[in-house]
Chain A
Amino acid sequence: MTTAVIPLEQRKLKNRAGFGQTIHDSFVMAKRGLIKVRRNPEQLFDVVIQPILFTLMFTYLFGGAIAGSIASYLPIIIPGILVQTIITASVVTGVQLREDMDKGVFDRFKSLPIARIAPLAGALMADTIRYAIATVLTFTMGIIMGLRPESIIGMVAGGLLVVAFAWCFSWIFAFFGVVARTASSVQGFSLIILFPLTFLSNAFVPVNTLPNWLQVFTNINPISHLITAVRDLVNHGAIGADFWLSIVGALVILAVFIPLTARAYMRKA
């Protein structure tokens, strides 16, 4: 009979999940996330619509005014929109995490002998598929509209950089997701952070047109550095200082928010 117990004497108990198990459990959780996406493709609505809509809208709206022509604006705007779209998508990660955690299934995760952090890490890993979709669509739109990247390798590298950065960035919103009481408060709070970070950057307009005090902010804004890094890669196939600054920024976010999120989650767990 399958429901007969395995006797106590035959069980080797461990008192903590090791590193290998943490990785394994996180991957299983990521698989769970992917199954859910497959069952509910509407979860991908934002990462499909936003790249198409924003690319069209912003390029034709600002192209003439800012860069003189659509063609000369594309190399500036496409990396900008890409980063903005993907950071927005990482907010959705936090919101969905909150919704997920409110369901009974998270109680079960807590009662299982798995790595505590796995449900979080797995959910965040699964969401990189969303970022990848948004990246591919944004570049595709750009190329259809006339973007001619300097090197394909550079474009692919730029895409990977953005997806990796978004994964790191999503830990911030995962933190809000864990500490917030409702999904809508996660959304509200995240947008307050999101808008200044993405719009007060070099995403849409040249920074030197801004007032001095604002330039100070946009220049230290990590999003600006990420966008510049992607522009360097896509338009020149080059890795510049901004590339390394983005990597450092992402690592700082991880160093701060993984422990913070993990601790908040464990406390609730």
Chain B
Amino acid sequence: MAGLKQPDDKSHFLLPDLGEGLVEAELISWKVKPGDVVTTSSILAEMQTDKALVEVPSPWPGTVSELCGKPGEIMKVGKPLVRYAVSGAAAATPAAAKGPACVSASVAAGVPEADGDQGTVVGTMSGTLTVSDRFARKPEHAVAAPTRGKALATPAVRRIAREMGIDINKVAGTGHSGRVTAADVHGFSGGSTAPAGFAPRAVAAPTPLPAVDKDGVAQRIAFRGVRRKIAEALDRSVRTAVHFTVVDEADVTELDRKRREYSKVVGQKLSMMPFIMTAICRALRKHPALNANVDDANSEILIKGVINLSIAVDTDSGLMVPVVRNADQCTLVDLANQVKVLAGRCRDRTISREESMGGTFTLSNVGSYGGMFATPIINYPEVGILAAGRTKERVLVKDGRFYAGLVLPLSLSCDHRVVDGAEGARFLNTVVGLLEDPSSLV
């Protein structure tokens, strides 16, 4: 066959083209075995081509060292059929022959074509390459339609998913032509979808969660359910509202006296709470900017005409915030009673969702457990929260005179996107003023 060159060292015999333009033949049976000495009249094997049953003779005398196929196998033209023992060497696999799967750029026996003409006036042409079957030509057809299961997304969105440790292919795409948007990715991480049209600040994407050391664990508590929901709400608030806190103290010595008097009059022990709530309501009327909800989805600040005070209630599942509606229209006793009822409902989980909605400002009475000042977290989407700390007896000064008085610490957090620092401070000042002058309160 034109071009098929057998190796000069006769280390192996490449199957030649047995017919006209054949590429392969089926090995029917071997007529020799390793170790046999053969001559040019010895038959090596019987092979079946698509034209005939053919006997393949040995091309040269030698000793057979290895048979390169099994009966029934399809042997390729140009591939080794039989190996011979090369003189002086053991019948080892010659290094030159490689497996059929490889494309090798080895020099073909290093011998140029018979007439010595390399076919080029400059440079050298050498080497033969065989192409693995993997790349064998197949009838050309249209490329298979792309398999789905892979998300469509811009590189920018893919980055967000990667940073959040999310497999983007698991996120449903709500964008144009089904693409996964940044909002889709963020929504996927929180379990709740972000509001439609809301574009969260993609810059603040957290890094993937670190692994936690399990050593020394005394108790494992499932972080799920109500606690998880509360945690998520707090998380959202901190991430969305820009918190700033202003603190102050109110001299409630006089107010405390009033409180005790009032309690005797109504026949019910009143805490500071209803008084503080009243002060807040009055102050909110004077500073309406703090009596608002922020609607980020529509980029609106909703200044409310009603005053619904959210009251922070501590439960064994965490913080709950029921709402006292129209708190500015309630009497002190009303306020006290409502708070008591709502707190009870929180603790025994009979509180309804509606009873926790619609708040316009929050009061958190942390003082009942301890602590002076705090950095309360806004009850989003409200824009302000006041934390009242523990009242303490202290030595106070007034007009140069010392006296023993009662001090109530107050911490006000506001959403700085909506409330200016000055506005917040002014509000707190008003509250303090009202608390220090009880006659204006009741």
Is chain B found bound to chain A in the same assembly? no
